[in-house]
Structure 1
C-alpha cells in the first residue's frame, strides 16, 4: 500500500467531507481540494432552497462520529434543512473539526488529473505510479501527487443547455452574459427579487429546481400581483412534475408537487406544454424565447432549470469506463437510469460498481450519477464508505441503504 501520498478528494461538499471522514477512520490520509472559499461553497448558491430530505438522511455516520466529541449541536432529525443550514450547521463545523481543518485546501480548483509522467496512451509507464493533480490556488499552479483520487466535485458548475436534443439553443451563448438569465435556482424572494418583481418571468424545466422556483415566484406574486409567471416543459403533461403526492415518503416533496398543481389549475402560473426552446434573442429590456412550432414568448427574466451534467474535462487524461448515454460509471448506469428508477429505488452500491480502468480513481456523489437526477445524499455517503474500505484493503459488500420511497425523479 502506498503510504507516502494522500488520497485526494475533490470537493468539500457533503460527499467530499464524508469521504475524508471515512478515509480517516480507515487510517488513510485525505487531502481535500475545494474550489470555493468555504465548505459547501456550491450548496451556498442554492442556500435559500429547503432540502426534501430531513437531517436523518443528510448527516453521514462517520462525519457524526467526528462531530459528536465537539460542541456541535445535532439538529432535530425530522427537520428539513435549507442549503444555508446544511452549510452553517453541518459542513462548516465539520471542516473546522480538529481532524479535518488541516486537511482541506480552499480556493484550490483542480484543472487536470493524470498519472505518473506520461499521458494515458502509455500503459506500462503509468502502472503503479501516483496520480498527478494540477490545481490553481490564488493564481499559483499546484502539483500534487496522490495514491488515489475521489472526485466528489458535483455538477453545479455544469448546467444543461436550454436547447432541445442536449444542445444549446440558437443565441444561448450570446444571452449567457445578459441580465435576463437568472440561473437554475434564483433567489427570487431575496437577492434576485428586484430582477423578477412585477416582471414577466419564464421558468424552463420540469424537475424539482423548477418546482421550487415556481412556488417562490408564486409567493412573490402574492405580494407583487403584476408579476407574471410562465412555465415551459418539453413534455405534453406536467404529471411527473406534480410527483407522488401522499405516496412520497419525503412528505415535503410530495406536498410541493401538489401546491404547484393547484397554482397551475388556478391560473396563477401559465403552463406551456410540449415546448422546446429553439432560440433566444436579447433585446434591450427583454428576451424573446422561440419555441418549436413557431410559438414565442417575450419575457423579462428566464430561469433555466434544465438540470446538470458532469464536467469531464479535468478527467481527460484518465482511463474511464462511462456509460455513453447517462455518463455515469458503466456498471452504475443501469442502476440509476431515470427512465427506470426513482431516487428511492436505487440499490446500495460501492467501490466495485464505481471502479474505472484507472485503478484507484473513483467518481462519487452527484457527479457519479452523470446526467441522472436520481441522486440522494445517503447514497453518496454509502459510496464513499465503500471506497474508503476498498482503499484500505477491505472489500466487504456495501451495507443496505435506508432510503425513502421518493416517487419520480425524472430528467427534463
Structure 2
C-alpha cells in the first residue's frame, strides 16, 4: 500500500490560483495532482474571456509560475498592460499548463464530486489526521473513480455556482420556468451573443463589477442598434461601491469603470431602478415581466426580452460535505476571513495579510484558497489568491517560517464606506465624508474622526451591523478597512 507521505497533494481547479498552487508545490519538490473539471485549464476564465481586467499583468501572475515559465523561454507581458480573460489564458495560463512539469500533473475533464477521509466520515475522530483523503472523480468515462491524497487544496472557485435572481438567496418564483430568457454572469454582448441582445430590452440585475461590464457593453450596443434598451435593477439604493472612487482608486481602470457606468446612467442610456428586490418572473404577451419589492411597495418591470443576473456567486458546499469545515456563518468563507472581507463592513478593497492559518479548517490538511475562500464576499483579486497559495504550500511542506511570512498589499478602491450618504456627497468625496487630512493615516474623514476618538478598526463601518472580530490574530492593514 502507498504510504501516506508519498501520496500527492490534490489541487482542485486549474484556474489561476490552482495552477499557482501547483507551481509552488513543484518548486518545493512535492508530489501534486491537479484536477480540472473543464475541457481545458482555466475553463472558467475562458468563459469570460471577452472581459478586460481592471488590474494589470503585474497583479495577475504568480512568482513560482513565472519562474517555471521563464525556464522554458516565456516572454512576460508588459506589467502595466491590462489583459482580457482571453489574454490571461493565451499568454499565461495555457503556456504554464503546457510546461513539461505542469502537463505531467494536470488532468482535465476530471470533476471532483466529493471529498472524504479513507474509511471515515466527518463524525469519526480517531486517527483522523493519519487517514488519506479520498477524492471521488468523475470524468464521464464510467463510474467515478477514487484517488488518494495526503492534503487537499480546494481552488475550484465559485463561477459555476451563481447566485439566483431572487433577492432572498433562493430563486425567484418563475425563475426556473423562464430559464431560456435568463443568463448568469457576463454574456459577450458585443461578440458571440450580440444577436441575442441587439434590438431587445434587457434587464441587468446586480451592483458589482460584473454588472458594470454588462451594462457598459449593452450601452455600446444600444448606440449601434437603437432598438436596444437597458434597465438596471439593484437591490440596494446606495451605489457608491459600484460607482467607485474614481481617481482615488489605486487601480485607475477600476475607478474608470465606475465613472463610465455613472455617466451612462446620468445620460439616461440606462434606466436605473435602485432598491428593487426581485421576487417573481412571469410571462407577458410576448415578453416577460419581473415583479419585486421596493420601499414603496411592489413594482413590476417590463416588458423585458432578456435578464442578465450579475449578482455574484457562492461556493459549492456539496463537495466538502464529509469534511470538517469552519465557515463564516453568513459569507460561507473561511471563518477567520469573514470579519476582514464582510461587504456589510468593508469596501476599501484592502485585506489584511492572511495565509495558511486563516485558510485552514478543523480538517487537517485541507485548505480553501482563491475566490472560494471568500465565500459569497466580492472584491477578490488574483494577487490575494497567489499569496494564499504560496503560504498554504509552504505550510504543507512544513516550512512554517515561510508560511507565516505573509506579504499582501492590495490597491484600495477609494471607497471606504457602506453607510448611505447623499448622492452628491458620494460623487464629490467617494468615501465617508471626503478625503482624510494629509497628516492622518486614515482613508477618509469618518475614519480620521474615529481614530481621533481612539476607536479601533475602520471608522467607515455602518452602525447597524454588529462588530465582528477575527477568530485568529492577523496583521493590521495600513489605513482603513
TM-score range, shorter chain: over 0.9
Answer with 204-213 or 228-237: which moved more.
228-237
Task: Give 1:121 shift.
Answer: 1.1
Aligned twin of 2:244: 243
Task: Give 1:410 shift.
Answer: 9.6
Task: Give 1:133 shift.
Answer: 0.2
- Give the Cα–Cα distance (whole angstroms) in 2 for the partners of residues 318 and 29 of structure 1: 22
Task: Give 1:95 shift.
Answer: 0.3
- Give the Cα–Cα distance (whole angstroms) in 1 for the partners of residues 325 and 361 of structure 2: 5
1:86 maps to 2:91:
no
Cα distance change of structure 1 residues 60 and 192 upon mapping to structure 2, 3 Å threshold: same
1:160 maps to 2:163:
yes
**Aligned residues of 2:345 and 2:417 also touching (Cα < 8 A):** no
Aligned twin of 1:314: 319
- Give the Cα–Cα distance (whole angstroms) in 2 for the partners of residues 136 and 320 of structure 1: 23
Aligned twin of 1:295: 299
Task: Give 1:165 shift.
Answer: 2.1
Deviations 1:372-412 (A, max 9, x none): 1021111101111011100111112232123212244999x
- Give the Cα–Cα distance (whole angstroms) in 2 for the partners of residues 152 and 231 of structure 1: 32
- Give the Cα–Cα distance (whole angstroms) in 1 for the partners of residues 110 and 18 of structure 2: 14
**Aligned residues of 1:348 and 1:398 also touching (Cα < 8 A):** no
- Where relative contact order (Cα < 8 A, 6+ residues apart) is larger, the structure is 1
Aligned twin of 1:120: 122
Aligned twin of 2:229: 228
1:10 maps to 2:15:
no
**Aligned residues of 1:204 and 1:231 also touching (Cα < 8 A):** yes
Aligned twin of 1:130: 132
Moved over 4 A (4+): 408-411
- Give the Cα–Cα distance (whole angstroms) in 2 for the partners of residues 55 and 171 of structure 1: 42
Cα distance change of structure 1 residues 350 and 237 upon mapping to structure 2, 3 Å threshold: closer
Q: Alignment partner of 2:158: what SS?
A: coil
1:348 maps to 2:353:
yes
**Aligned residues of 2:18 and 2:155 also touching (Cα < 8 A):** yes
Equivalent of 1:146 in 144, 149, 159: 149
- Give the Cα–Cα distance (whole angstroms) in 2 for the partners of residues 201 and 407 of structure 1: 31
Aligned twin of 2:335: 330
- Give the Cα–Cα distance (whole angstroms) in 1 for the partners of residues 284 and 273 of structure 2: 22
Q: TM-score, normalised by structure 2?
A: 0.83
Q: Which runs of 5+ in 1 are unaligned?
A: none
Q: Alignment partner of 1:201: what SS?
A: strand
**Aligned residues of 1:210 and 1:305 also touching (Cα < 8 A):** yes
Q: Alignment partner of 2:184: what SS?
A: coil
Aligned twin of 1:103: 105
Instruction: Report the aligned-residue RMSD.
Output: 1.6
1:268 maps to 2:269:
yes
Cα distance change of structure 1 residues 29 and 221 upon mapping to structure 2, 3 Å threshold: same
Task: Give 1:228 shift.
Answer: 0.5
1:173 maps to 2:176:
yes
Q: Which runs of 5+ in 2 are unaligned?
A: 419-481
Cα distance change of structure 1 residues 410 and 357 upon mapping to structure 2, 3 Å threshold: farther
* CA radius of gyration, larger in: 2
Task: Give 1:171 shift.
Answer: 1.2
Deviations 1:301-320 (A, max 9, x none): 11000111111111000000
